[in-house]
Amino acid sequence: MNEMTEMNENPLYLLPEVLLAASAVLGLLLGAWLPRRRQWLTGALAAVACTAGIVAAAIAAAAPVKTVFGDSFALDTLTAGARIVILGATLLVLALAAPRMHADARETEFYVLLQLASLGTLMLAGAQDLLLLAAAYLLASVPAYALAGFRKDGPGTEAALKFYVVGALLGVVMLTGVTVLLAAGRTTSYPMLRTELAEAPGGLVAVGTLALLAGLLFKAGGVPGHFWVPDAVQGSSGTVAAFLATVPKIGALAAFYRLAAVPLADADLPWADLVAVLAVASMTLGNLAAFFQQDVKRLLAYSTISQVGYLLLPVAVAGRTDLDQPALLYYLAGYALTNLGAFAVVCALPRAHTLDDYRGLARAHPALLASLAVCLLGLVGTPPTAVFLGKLEVFSAAFDGGYAWLAVAAAVNTVASLFYYLRWIGPAFRTSEAVGEQRVTSRPAAVVAYAAATGSVVLGVLGGVVLDVLDGPLAR
């Protein structure tokens, strides 16, 4: 037994996580010594760590499924897929941040916080134990609070405060959930919980699960844990907004799915109905609230809330169909790329805050408008972008899992979402007098936007290859 434990505690199993943690710590030390103009090196270090992490995760994905560090961390396709998406998204955020933060007095701090928040998200995705899940929640949240208020201005402070208060509250609720589930199942490890919870009293399991979901929905930014999203995204800088609206969701939804597929799989819970209701609430509320927003970041914030709704579809039918896991992972990858592309356009036009500021973009920056159109129409699910195939898979999964009405609700919501995305693209064709100030562009951010838009189309067209890889057994 002892030998077994030693064998599965090899730190190399957690290479992507270890790399990110090491680079964060090393960056902090380096930052204390490097002159201000050289601090970009810490950012470069972070990029190297992310890239190496992606490679390590891809190599690890080929290995057979196992659980490491006791029963606490799962190494399976879900973890591998989430790792690659999270690290790739972080890499894009770093590319967006680098020119903006260059020679900033707190450049290193920014990169370190970013890496720690990503690390927490990675842990969320792989956690196979309730206590590790709670720890990952804190690791993912606390640096994010600091990032939200990083600019130290009025809106940023408000954003950080709201983010923190909601996060702290729901975090405590989540811990309560962990406690209740521990009481019900007498363990915190998922594989054992699966058998224990099947025989535990239904009420206790239901209360514990609901409380646990509060924390995950907070991280995912789904209803009812979504209250922080609009303010945090609008109040923080474009780069941080891009991060907050994209990366934590990936880990949270992977954790959500794992929860559904492993510990709660045999529990006596109306799981699918519960998640279906949450999904419909998320997409509908997000869409309705986005309808008449004027601020582009706020609009995108509500759009991400609605996207969580679609992403919850495969979670709702987890275990009822074979399509659920590839659908979720593929949608997450497509969503991360497309959403970051949209935020990159926002970052590329730092002076344009409202929809009206985008008037005349067709004439001034046609390539940027094209990227914006690809990303926004991509988020709607227009083929051949990645999110289209993601939606197709997600709808198919819902149908196949016996939740056709959920797919219909999602389709109706998709149409509704088209309205506000078009409210953004439409004015770009109108001529504008307010040329000049609004037209300041950030070239590197524009390049990221082009890359993300192209990437989302390429990912969509090459979807076949990717989907094949994403189908694999879960660690149980």
Partner 1 sequence: MLTAIVLLPTAVAALLLCVPRGAPRTLFLTAWASTTAVELILTVIVWAGYRTDGGMQYETRARWIPSAGISYHVGVDGLSLPLVALTCVLFLACALYAWRDTRRVREFAALFLFLQTTCLGLFVALDLILFFVFFDLSIVAMYFVIAGWGHKNAARSALKFFLYTFIGSLALLLGFIGLYLAADPHTFDIVDLTTANPLAGHATYGALVLLAIGVGLAVKTPTVPFHTWLPPAHTDAPAAGSAILAGVLLKMGTYGFLRIALPVLPGAWREYALVFVVVGVVSVLYGALVALAQTDFKRMIAYTSVNHMGYIVLAIGAAGAVGANQEEARRLAVTGSVFQMVSHGLLTGALFLLSGVLYERGRTYEMSAYSGVAGRAPVFAALTGVAAFASLGLPGFSGFIAEFQILAGSLGPEPVATGLAVLGILLTAGLFLRALQQMLLGPLRLPVAAPGTDRPFPDLRLHEGLAVVPLLVLGVVLGLAPRFVLDVVEPASRTVLELLGR
Residues making contact with partner 1 (CB under 8 A)? 326, 362-363, 366, 373, 377, 380, 382-384, 388-389, 392-393, 395-396, 399-400, 404, 407-408, 411-412, 414-415, 418-419, 422, 425-427, 429-430, 463-464, 467-468, 471
Of 148 and 407, nearer to partner 1 (C-beta) is 407
CB of 366 to partner 1, least distance (A): 7
Of 202 and 366, nearer to partner 1 (C-beta) is 366
285 Cα distance to chain centroid: 19
CB of 476 to partner 1, least distance (A): 23
Q: Which of 138, 112, 49 lies closest to 86, judged by CA? A: 49
Q: Which of 177, 252, 170 lies closest to 219, judged by CA? A: 252
Q: Using the structure block, give the residue that is written with the tokens 């943690």.
A: 21
188 Cα distance to chain centroid: 25
CB of 326 to partner 1, least distance (A): 7
SS3 354: strand
* Phi then psi dihedrals of residue 73, to 5 deg: -135, 130
Q: Which two tokens stand for residue 430?
A: 């109108």
Of 248 and 378, nearer to partner 1 (C-beta) is 378
CB of 407 to partner 1, least distance (A): 6
Of 231 and 393, nearer to partner 1 (C-beta) is 393
Compute the distance between CA of residue 121 and CA of residue 216 in angstroms, rounded to an integer: 11
On the 0-12 / 13-18 / 19+ scale of CB atoms within 10 A, 11 is exposed
CB of 27 to partner 1, least distance (A): 40
Helix (H) / strand (E) containing 73: strand 73-75
CB of 395 to partner 1, least distance (A): 5
Of 13 and 388, nearer to partner 1 (C-beta) is 388
Q: Using the structure block, give the residue that is written with the tokens 């970051």.
A: 340
Of 99 and 384, nearer to partner 1 (C-beta) is 384
CB of 77 to partner 1, least distance (A): 13
Sign of the C-alpha dihedral computed for residues 226, 233, 172 and 258 taken in this order: positive
Of 127 and 407, nearer to partner 1 (C-beta) is 407
